[in-house]
Amino acid sequence: MKLIRRYKFFITVTASLVILFFINYEAGIKAVEITAFSFKKMILIIPPIFILLGLLDIWIPKATMVKYMGENSGIKGVLLSLFIGSSASGPLYGAFPLAAVFMKKGVKFSNIIVFLGACSTTKIPMLLFEMSSLGKKFALSRLGINILGILIMSWMISKLIPKKEIEKIYLNAEKL
């Protein structure tokens, strides 16, 4: 029963695909192709991310992370979060395990929100592409607006979520 509960999402998706085959064979084939493509893509990205996370967990002491990105890090923590998030490569789902490692290392909650926001909107390769295809003025305007939005969002989220909820989030990250 525990095994079924643990893999209920996978079982539900598989059952849905089987049912789809009976209802519409062509759509079932297409769904399996898309699922296989997504799985291949993830299997190539996830292992290197977890290797890097393991190295980060070992190589960088908690005291260093607290010093540069912790509760009393101030503007340097925000800037470092923006830089790390902007220079991160790969899809956004790769940023969440890194955010969990940051939580284990004592990074301030608002800096984690800044990091995730930067990962999703301010990636350096995207900025370079926008500059070459849409123009420097557009790219820098969008970047400035996104950074301002990230900072406002980070501040608002850290103020709106009760401290007890944030503590629960950190405790869940410790369990990973």
Render pLDDT for 54-98 as a digit per residue (tens, 0 to 9): 887 788 888 888 899 999 999 999 999 999 999 887 788 888 988
**For the chain, which ranges sit under pLDDT 50?**
none
Question: b/e string for 154-167 if b means 16 or more Cβ within 10 A?
Answer: beeebeeeeeeebe
Q: Can you give the pTM of this predicted structure?
A: 0.77
Q: What integer pLDDT is reported at residue 39 of this predicted model?
A: 87
Q: What integer pLDDT is reported at residue 133 of this predicted model?
A: 94
Q: Cα(first)–Cα(last) distance of the chain, in Å?
A: 22
Distance CA 53, CA 59 (A): 10
Distance CA 115, CA 110 (A): 9
Distance CA 105, CA 152 (A): 24
Q: Please, are residues 166 and 109 in contact by the beta-carbon 8 Å criterion? A: yes
- The residues, ordered by sequence, that sit 6+ positions from 136 with a Cβ below 8 Å of its Cβ are none
Q: Please, are residues 114 and 151 in contact by the beta-carbon 8 Å criterion? A: yes
Q: What integer pLDDT is reported at residue 157 of this predicted model?
A: 95
